[in-house]
Amino acid sequence: ANNFAMKGKRKTLNAGDVLSAMEEMEFQRFVAPLKESLEVYRREQKGKKEARKDKDKKTDSEEQDKSREEENDDDDERMEEEEQNDDEEVDN
């Protein structure tokens, strides 16, 4: 597997390197089950990644909603304070 990676001018091994090395070393009976397992693993990881993205999107939208509510609350408080200040100025 290292030799396949070196031929590809890479320092990191990938699944293809390992599978090619196994075929070259005459371990063909292990290659098919290993490929199937790799595909299952990749699908699981992809599902987890998508679920994480969906969760992050929901969290982001909830945070935006909260921040909008807080901004509206802050605006309401400012308006109330300004009205109180206006009332005090009129009394003076």
Whether 23 is covered by a domain: the verdict is yes
For residue 2, what are the domain limits?
A: 1-51
Whether 59 is covered by a domain: the verdict is no
Whether 79 is covered by a domain: the verdict is no
pLDDT at 65: 66
Whether 22 is covered by a domain: the verdict is yes
Between 77 and 10, residue with greater pLDDT: 10
Contacts 24+ apart (CB under 8 A), 48-54: none
Q: Could you read off the pLDDT of 45-87 as tens digits, one per residue?
A: 999 988 888 888 777 777 776 666 666 666 666 666 666 666 5
What is the model's pTM?
Answer: 0.51
Whether 27 is covered by a domain: the verdict is yes
pLDDT at 35: 93
Name, in order, each residue with C-beta under 8 angstroms of 2's C-beta and a sequence gap of 6 or more: 13, 17
pLDDT at 45: 93
pLDDT at 55: 83
